[in-house]
Structure formats: structure tokens, C-alpha cells
Amino acid sequence: MGEKISMLKKYLLTPGPTQVPETVLLEMAIPMMHHRTSEFESIFSEVRQGLKTVFKTDNDVLILLGSGTLAMEAAVINTLNDGDTALVINGGKFAERWTQLCSMAGVNVIELKIEWGEAVDPQDVKKILDETPNIKAVLMQGSETSTTVYHPIKEVAEIIKGRDNTILVVDGITSVGVHDTETDKWGVDILISGSQKAFMLPPGLSFISLSKKAWGMVDKNSQKKFYIDLKKERKNQEKNTTAWTAGVSLIIGLNKVLKMLLEEGLDNVFNRHKINALATRSACTAIGLKLLAEKSPSDAVTGCYLPDGIDGKAFVKFLRTKCGVAIAGGQDQLDGKVLRISHLGYHDLFDTITAISSIEMGLVKFGADIPLSAGVKAAQEIFIKYIPEK
């Protein structure tokens, strides 16, 4: 039989960009409107309120036109001055970005290095802060997408809360809308996220909230900046407009997404991520794939090691081009060695089943001796527990 499968659907199961719901795509397709109009301002006002609810803060959540890294850069150059000292909790590729951004801004960096796959021990943060009282900011990730670890934001925040001259800056790019984050209650001074993650939108927007303590540092900041001057942004966004041309279509899409998230209920959103993560981890273990983050895994994405002898790059390419399933491989030291299977954003149980099933078929194609369907079965067993009764 010489026939081959010739038609494939595409399944985007990477930890960003993520799938965009059809209803949101349609919403964004309405004819362009001007951003300096009452029509747009009324949408912007709704969006501002919705973002505060999702971020669990009474402070404004500013919307920036640029991917998550823009908001990370904005956080650094609006709060930290040349010559200040910052502590970076460095346990992966995205944490390294904090170090790069701080160094660019002339900030002295102390790095608390964490082994890839491990979460930070908050007591190590406390020790460094006690020994070095002039640290102005602690910068960390919520979910470190490169290592699939979730760091204990709440416990780190607890240590920083009482220190008047230190702020906690959290890159929540793949943790906001996935793991519950009580921004105000816990004392997260700056929280950042991005549109192409749990916000189920195309890439292009980033979000940043600042506490009063953080705004106090912005007031004393003397770094040069133009496009990402947060004070200028706040002044405009308080009036339901933006300092520069707004990302009109994305913001219209965001309005729809926020309504969807709030209608689902934030606790249900967190549970959805938790159940898909649980099923994915259980499936990987059943297949015999060792988890990358064993003790503190992220509910946004699951990492697992490939069996010895399988080229991860070729494997990920095979799934994408021959099965239509896009998942992520490893970065830097994990390049070619791991798979990162997303369960982030607009992702349901059958997205997880698709990911697991394609991995199993791929492993067989690549010659691995694995029990076909063991992963799918393990995932199904988890899902059956959570599907509502008839």
C-alpha cells in the first residue's frame, strides 16, 4: 500500500503563541476604528476593568503595544536607576532576560542561580536580602516556560512585603491566568503578562501592573526612555486612551477574551489548566518519559525528557510537519533533549489527548520501545474524573 495521509489539520500546542478562539478572531475582524474616539475609549474602559479583575489588583494594569519582553524592559528602566542593585532569581532562559535587561540599564545584578528544573527556595532569597540591604528589586518568573517550573511567588512575596525599599517584580507571562496570583494580597509589586499566552490572543500586547511602592520608585527614576515611559502611559490610560497609537484590533479581541474568562470564572480557568497539566504529566509518566520539573511543575506547560537516542529537534519537526501538531522542544542546554507540551490558554482536554497521542505515534515512528496508548489512557483516566456527571 503506497498511500500516505495527505491532509492535516494544524494543532498549535506551544506555550505561546497559543490558539485563538474563533469568536475572538471574528471580533477582531470588525472594520478598523480610530483610537481617539469615544467608541474606542468605552472599549478601553471595559478592558481596564477586566484586566484588574484577572490580575487581582486595585491598581491600574497598563496595556503596552509590544510582546512580553517590552513590559519586562519597561519594568526595569522605569524603576531601577543606573548603579542600583537587583537580585535576579535565575532558573532558566527567561530569567536570564532579567539579567540582560538589568545589565543594559546599568543595574548591578546579584544572581541566585537555580538548577534548571528546580524552583527557588524562598529562604535563599531571604538570606541574600538580609545580607545585602541595598537590593532595590527582586526579579523572578512565575512560570519559567523554558524549564516548565512554577516558582513560589507567594512565599517570595512574603519575604519582600515588609521591606520598604525593595520591590518584587514578577514575569507572569505564562502564569497569569494559569496559576492563581493574588497580586495585592500577596504584595506582588509589578506583575507582567502577554497577549499570546493565557489571554488567548495573537502576540502583540503586554500588560503590567504596579503597586504604590513600585510607583514610588518610578517617581524617583531618572533613566532615559521615550516609548515605554510608564508615567506617560498611566496619565493617558487613566483617561481610557493610550500614549501612542493603540493596538486597536488586539484590544477589541482582549475585551472579548476578558469577558470569556470572567464568564468561565477565574477559579474554573485555573482548574482547567490544573487538570490538563495533571493529565499531561500523568501521560508522560505512563509513557516512561521523565518529567523535567518534578517537584514544582507549571500548569502552563509540561516538560519531559525524550528517550536516549531520539533527536528532539527532528522529533518536534516530525510532529509539526507530518502530524500537524506543533509542540515545543528545549532551549539552550535542553535543546534536542526535551519536549514542552503546552496546556496554556484556549486549550481543552482533546487538545491534550491530541498532543499525547501524536507523541506516542511519533515515538514509535522514531523506533522507541514504548507502550502505545499508555499515555492516552492515563490522560483519559484523569479527565474521566473531572467530566461533569450526565
**How far is 228 from 192, CA to CA, in rounded Å?**
14
Residue 207 exposed, middle or buried by CB count within 10 Å (0-12, 13-18, 19+) = buried
Q: Taking the complex as a whole, how short is the minimal distance between the CB of residue 272 and ligand PLP, in angstroms?
A: 19
Q: Site for ligand PLP (CB under 6 A): which residue of 141, 280, 342, 358? A: 141
Stretch that binds ligand PLP, among 65-73, 263-271, 308-316, 348-356 (CB under 6 A): 65-73
Cis previous bond, 17, omega within 30: yes
Q: Taking the complex as a whole, how short is the minimal distance between the CB of residue 146 and ligand PLP, in angstroms?
A: 7
Stretch that binds ligand PLP, among 62-70, 153-161, 224-232, 363-371 (CB under 6 A): 62-70
Query: Considering the rule CB under 6 A, would residue 16 count as an interface residue with ligand PLP?
Result: yes
Stretch that binds ligand PLP, among 63-71, 107-115, 209-217, 261-269 (CB under 6 A): 63-71
What are 92's three cell numbers? 532558566
Query: Considering the rule CB under 6 A, would residue 194 count as an interface residue with ligand PLP?
Result: yes
Our CB check for ligand PLP shows the closer of 173 and 208 to be 173
Ramachandran sector of residue 272 (left: φ over 0; alpha: ψ -120 to 50; beta: rest): alpha
Query: Considering the rule CB under 6 A, would residue 299 count as an interface residue with ligand PLP?
Result: no
Query: Considering the rule CB under 6 A, would residue 177 count as an interface residue with ligand PLP?
Result: no
- What's the gap between Cα 377 and its chain centre? 28
The number of residues that bind ligand PLP (CB under 6 A) is 11
Q: Taking the complex as a whole, how short is the minimal distance between the CB of residue 1 and ligand PLP, in angstroms?
A: 42
Residue whose C-alpha is closest to residue 59's, from 162, 218, 183: 183
Our CB check for ligand PLP shows the closer of 197 and 272 to be 197
Query: Considering the rule CB under 6 A, would residue 145 count as an interface residue with ligand PLP?
Result: yes
Our CB check for ligand PLP shows the closer of 173 and 327 to be 173
Residue 135 exposed, middle or buried by CB count within 10 Å (0-12, 13-18, 19+) = buried
Stretch that binds ligand PLP, among 132-140, 168-176, 218-226, 233-241 (CB under 6 A): 168-176
DSSP state of 98: H
Query: Considering the rule CB under 6 A, would residue 90 count as an interface residue with ligand PLP?
Result: no
Query: What does each C-alpha distance from 209 to 204, 339, 359 come to in angstroms?
Result: 17, 32, 38
Residue whose C-alpha is closest to residue 189's, from 289, 319, 80: 80
Bridge partner residues of 206 (DSSP): 64, 194
Our CB check for ligand PLP shows the closer of 203 and 216 to be 203
Our CB check for ligand PLP shows the closer of 64 and 287 to be 64
Query: Considering the rule CB under 6 A, would residue 69 count as an interface residue with ligand PLP?
Result: yes
**Torsion sign, CA atoms 385, 200, 175, 183:** negative
Query: Considering the rule CB under 6 A, would residue 186 count as an interface residue with ligand PLP?
Result: no
Closest-CB residue for ligand PLP? 68
Alpha-helical (H) ranges within 29-151 are 38-55, 68-79, 93-104, 122-131
Query: Considering the rule CB under 6 A, would residue 188 count as an interface residue with ligand PLP?
Result: no
Query: Considering the rule CB under 6 A, would residue 289 count as an interface residue with ligand PLP?
Result: no
**How far is 327 from 340, CA to CA, in rounded Å?**
6
Q: Taking the complex as a whole, how short is the minimal distance between the CB of residue 94 and ligand PLP, in angstroms?
A: 4
CB 351 within 8 A of CB 11: yes
CB 358 within 8 A of CB 320: no
Stretch that binds ligand PLP, among 107-115, 170-178, 262-270, 348-356 (CB under 6 A): 170-178
Residue whose C-alpha is closest to residue 151's, from 109, 117, 183: 117
Q: Site for ligand PLP (CB under 6 A): which residue of 20, 52, 62, 68? A: 68
- What's the gap between Cα 336 and its chain centre? 22
Query: Considering the rule CB under 6 A, would residue 173 count as an interface residue with ligand PLP?
Result: yes
Query: Considering the rule CB under 6 A, would residue 67 count as an interface residue with ligand PLP?
Result: yes
**Residue numbers at the binding site for ligand PLP (CB under 6 A):** 16, 67-69, 94, 141, 145, 171, 173-174, 194
